[in-house]
């Protein structure tokens, strides 16, 4: 289970970095989204991966503590998902406004400089 999660985090991170280095705005936004998913999975894995464990501690039973997953990373990931969704929506609105004003969706502006030079 840990190997599958580690591979998934690695693939998401690698794909996110690849898309982050692309010249188009939408690809950069998708790269940031993939990297945020990879970070969410990493934080979620810090709370121990347990199968068939109780989500809530039973009062007075000390042996249950060793068998439960930590709820704090789960709460952090849930908060990060909501913030990431809002950030992606904001980036898409800014991308559309930028494309409307400049007429291109290139991040570095090289295509605009090539059109002016020709």
* The pLDDT of residue 109: 65
Closest CA relative to residue 21, chosen from 11, 12, 6, 32: 32
Domains of the chain with CATH codes: 2-49+69-113 (1.10.287.3510)
* Confidence category of residue 9, pLDDT binned at 50, 70, 90: very high
Nearest 5°: phi and psi at 106? Answer: -80, 140
What is the per-residue pLDDT for 12? 96
pTM of the predicted model as reported, rounded to 2 decimal places: 0.73
pLDDT digits (tens, 9 = 90+) for 72-96: 888 888 999 999 999 999 999 998 8
DSSP labels for 14-80?
HHHHHHHTSSBHHHHHHHHHHHHHHHHHHHHHTT---SS--SSPPTT-SGGGGGSPPHHHHHHHHHH
Alpha-carbon distance 4 to 52, whole Å?
18
> Contact, 81 vs 40, CB < 8 A?
yes
Looking at 24-28, 39-43, 49-53, 100-104, which range is the least confident one?
A: 49-53
pLDDT digits (tens, 9 = 90+) for 26-36: 899 999 999 99
């Amino acid at each position: 289970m840990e190997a599958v999660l580690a591979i998934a985090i690695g693939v998401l991170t690698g794909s996110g970095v690849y898309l982050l280095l692309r010249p188009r705005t939408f690809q950069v936004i998708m790269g940031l989204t993939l990297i945020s998913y990879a970070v969410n999975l990493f934080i979620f894995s810090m709370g121990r991966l347990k199968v068939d464990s109780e989500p809530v501690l039973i009062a007075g039973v000390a042996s249950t503590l060793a068998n439960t997953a930590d709820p704090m990373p789960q709460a952090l990931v849930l908060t990060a998902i909501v913030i990431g969704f809002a950030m992606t929506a904001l980036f898409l609105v800014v991308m559309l406004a930028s494309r409307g004003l400049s007429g291109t969706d290139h991040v570095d502006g090289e295509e605009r400089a090539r059109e002016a030079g020709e």
